[in-house]
């Protein structure tokens, strides 16, 4: 059990005021980590912190927008002053737009790449110097099935998630000698508020259940196990890998 014990560790989870980010933060906290939750809006962010504190988890808010690199870096620095060094970074913040490729403006592309890819770079650059100094650290990038597959109407999102997959591997190679492991998690289709419109669409709901061997949507709490594994000593020799938590979708023809 000590392999998965995160007592004394401090974890920053971006985009964690709701959805999968909140579930990941909760899982890390339940295994002993102090968690720093991040969001852009004070209301949902503070509510999420209260929920975790009600469970006995040591949780703290850090409001910042990753598309403002200077403000995000400063906010992470302030959180470190309050909580202590970041031992675990989970890059989860993301957005989604759905349009035919020809309808996407360049501004849409820049916005989506800014959040998913550049935002992950901003957060990593803010915590990696401390990890190098301590010669220890874990970074977990939340990738996607679209890091491997394509679908109509989400070209910018899939491109960003594919780039995040390669950022994961490049950082793993560059920082492995500092005892820093950089890995990713690729969620399948999960039942979250962000996916509510898709779940309520009978055609898309049927597609997900047919395409996924488990024949259902994932539950948000089912992502936590992979996150705890990659954040803990159990994965100290695992580096540059993406764990797909998808009910078997990628394994199926």
**253 — pLDDT class (breaks 50, 70, 90):** confident
CATH 2.40.50.180 fits 10-190+218-251, yes or no: no
57 contacts 26 by C-beta, under 8 angstroms: yes
pTM for the structure as a whole? 0.97
Q: Is 4 helix (H, G, I), strand (E, B) or coil?
A: helix
- Within 13 Å, how many C-alpha atoms sit on residue 236's CB side? 8
Tokens, residue 51:
């929920």
CA distance linking residue 123 with residue 182, whole number of Å: 13
- In 177-223, which residue ranges form alpha helices assigned H by DSSP? 196-199, 202-211
CA distance linking residue 138 with residue 245, whole number of Å: 19
The CA distances from residue 172 to 57, 59, 179, 239, in Å, are 29, 28, 10, 6
Q: To the nearest whole percent, how much of the chain has pLDDT over 90?
A: 97
The pLDDT value recorded for residue 113 is 98
Assess whether pLDDT exceeds 80 at residue 1.
no
Report the chain's mean pLDDT, rounded to a whole number.
Answer: 97
**194 — pLDDT class (breaks 50, 70, 90):** confident
* From 22, 64, 157, 175, the catalytic residue: 157
Examine the residue annotation and report whether 157 is marked as an active-site residue of this protein: yes
Averaged over 6-19, what is the pLDDT? 97
Strands (E), the chain: 10-13, 34-39, 59-63, 88-91, 137-142, 180-187, 242-245
Averaged over 210-223, what is the pLDDT? 97
| Residue-by-residue DSSP string for 142-154 | E--GGGT---TT-
187 contacts 221 by C-beta, under 8 angstroms: no
Which residues lie below 8 Å from residue 72, measured CB to CB, with a gap of 6+? 64, 65, 66, 119, 122, 123, 126
The pLDDT value recorded for residue 230 is 98
Of 25-39, 105-119, 167-181, 191-205, the range with the lowest mean pLDDT is 191-205
Number of residues that make up the chain: 253
130 contacts 173 by C-beta, under 8 angstroms: no
CA distance linking residue 33 with residue 36, whole number of Å: 10
Averaged over 58-78, what is the pLDDT? 97
Q: Is 218 helix (H, G, I), strand (E, B) or coil?
A: strand
What does the domain layout of the chain look like in residue ranges? Answer: 10-190+218-251
Q: To the nearest whole percent, how much of the chain has pLDDT over 70?
A: 100
**124 — pLDDT class (breaks 50, 70, 90):** very high
Tokens, residue 238:
């695992």
146 contacts 161 by C-beta, under 8 angstroms: yes
């Amino acid at each position: 059990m000590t392999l998965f014990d995160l007592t004394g560790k401090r974890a920053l989870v971006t985009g964690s005021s709701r959805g999968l980010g909140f579930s990941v933060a909760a899982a890390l906290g339940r295994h002993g980590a102090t968690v720093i939750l991040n969001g852009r809006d004070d209301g949902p962010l503070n509510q999420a912190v209260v929920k975790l504190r009600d469970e006995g988890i040591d949780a703290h808010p850090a409001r910042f927008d990753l598309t403002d690199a200077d403000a995000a870096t400063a906010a992470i620095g302030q959180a470190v002053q309050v909580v202590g060094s970041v031992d675990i970074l989970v890059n989860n913040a993301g957005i989604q737009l759905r349009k035919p490729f020809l309808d996407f403006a360049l501004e849409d592309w820049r916005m989506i790449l800014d959040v998913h890819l550049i935002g992950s770079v901003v957060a990593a650059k803010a915590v990696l110097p401390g990890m190098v100094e301590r010669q220890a650290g874990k970074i977990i990038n939340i990738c996607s099935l679209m890091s491997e597959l394509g679908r109509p109407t989400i070209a910018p999102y899939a491109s960003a998630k594919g780039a995040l997959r390669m950022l994961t591997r490049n950082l793993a190679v560059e920082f492995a000698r500092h005892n820093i492991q950089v890995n990713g998690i690729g969620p399948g289709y999960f039942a979250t508020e962000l996916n509510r419109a898709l779940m309520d669409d009978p055609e898309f709901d049927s597609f997900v259940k047919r395409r996924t061997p488990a024949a259902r949507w994932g539950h948000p709490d089912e992502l936590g196990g992979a996150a705890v594994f990659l954040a803990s000593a159990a994965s100290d020799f695992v580096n540059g890998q993406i764990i797909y938590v998808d009910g078997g979708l990628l394994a199926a023809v």
